[in-house]
Copies of this chain bind each other. A is one copy, B any other.
Amino acid sequence: MAVGTKERILSASGELFRRQGYEGTGLKQIVTAANVPFGSLYHFFPGGKEQLGAQAIRVSGGQFGQLGNAILDASPDIVSGVRNLFSGAARAIEASDYADACPIATVALEVSSSSEPMRQAAAEVFEGWFADLQHRLATAGINTDRARELAVVTLSLLEGAFIFSRATRSAQPVEIAGAAAVQMIELELRELPER
């Protein structure tokens, strides 16, 4: 088999959860989209929908983080990297007719008060994103504590703008938020004592 059944289930789950959320997606819809027999689902995920959800959060969240890191790696510096991050997100959300924004934000909000394993999975993914971006900002010369704050701020801007862009069907919020993130980081770097 080219790509395994388990991977197809996780991939289909990720896409569907991203667009319609966790509660809005049925297991039958997942097995249909993944072209997988129903029994296989409970073979690979004996913990049922909740286990599948938690794993889908980690996988999709990890992939999204890798995508972000790839964009940052391909950029000459952190400022243009963040700029590319937001402009790439803006293009992606437009191209998907305002469906594909953050793959785990909807699910995270849905389950954070009802499923502890899934809430924790989301929290760990978010912490990973924070740590990645913090490290890059620190490498650019910003002190550790401030780098963490800027990472949280940058990703808050992205996530919040995603909500508005999806609801208003306009990429403008993401673009505006991106400009703000760039401005904040530039400001911080300019205040650095030495380089």
Which residues of A pack against B, CB within 8 Å? 19-24, 97-99, 105-106, 108-110, 112-114, 119, 122-123, 126-127, 149, 152-153, 155-164, 166-169, 172-173, 176-177, 179-180, 183-184, 187
Instruction: Determine the chain B residues whose CB is within 8 A of the CB of A114 once the complex forms.
Output: 19-20, 24
Asked whether A157 lies within 8 Å of B160 as measured between CB atoms, the reply is yes
In the complex, residue of chain B having the shortest beta-carbon distance to the beta carbon of A157: B156
Asked whether B126 lies within 8 Å of A164 as measured between CB atoms, the reply is yes
CB distance from A172 to the nearest CB of B (A): 8
Listed A/B pairs (24) with beta-carbon separation below 8 Å: A20-B113, A21-B21, A21-B110, A22-B23, A23-B23, A23-B110, A24-B110, A99-B113, A108-B166, A110-B110, A112-B167, A126-B164, A127-B168, A152-B172, A153-B177, A155-B164, A156-B159, A156-B160, A156-B161, A156-B163, A156-B164, A158-B160, A159-B159, A160-B161
Asked whether A168 lies within 8 Å of B123 as measured between CB atoms, the reply is yes
Query: What is the predominant secondary structure among interface residues of chain A facing chain B?
Result: helix
Known contacts being A153-B177, A169-B123, A177-B153, is A108 close to B23, with CB within 8 Å?
Answer: no
CB distance from A61 to the nearest CB of B (A): 11
Q: Which of B22, B159, B176 contacts A153 (CB 8 A)?
A: B176
Complex: A21 Cα to B20 Cα, angstroms: 12
Copies of this protein, total: 2
Asked whether A152 lies within 8 Å of B176 as measured between CB atoms, the reply is yes
Most chain B beta-carbon contacts within 10 A, residue among A123, A152, A160, A176: A160
Instruction: Determine the chain B residues whose CB is within 8 A of the CB of A112 once the complex forms.
Output: 98, 166-167
Asked whether A159 lies within 8 Å of B152 as measured between CB atoms, the reply is no
Known contacts being A164-B156, A168-B123, is A21 close to B23, with CB within 8 Å?
Answer: yes
